[in-house]
Amino acid sequence: MADKEIQNLADLRNEYFQSGGMLQKKFGWKENDARIGVFAKCLNAIEPVLFSLIFCKENLSNPMWQARFSKDHKTPPSAEEVQHQVDSYLMYQQYSYAELFFASIESSMRIFVRAIDPEACNQGKANFASISDFLLKRTDTEKYKPLLELFRLIRNTSHNNGIYLPEREGNRSITWKGTEYLFEEGKSVLFVTMPFLIELSKDLREMLVDIVESKNLSNIQEILDPTFPEEWPLRILNTEE
Q: What is the pLDDT of residue 239?
A: 45
- The answer to whether position 14 is within a domain reads yes
Opening angle at CA 125, ends 138 and 224, nearest 5: 70
Number of domain units in the chain: 1
Closest CA to 7 of 240, 198, 183, 212: 198
82 part of a folded domain: yes
- Show the domain range for 126: 3-143+190-218
Q: Is residue 67 part of a domain?
A: yes
pLDDT, one tens digit per residue, over 176-206 is: 999 999 999 999 999 999 999 999 999 999 9
Q: Is 50 within a domain? A: yes
In a domain, 76, yes or no: yes
Q: Is this structure's pTM higher than 0.75?
A: yes
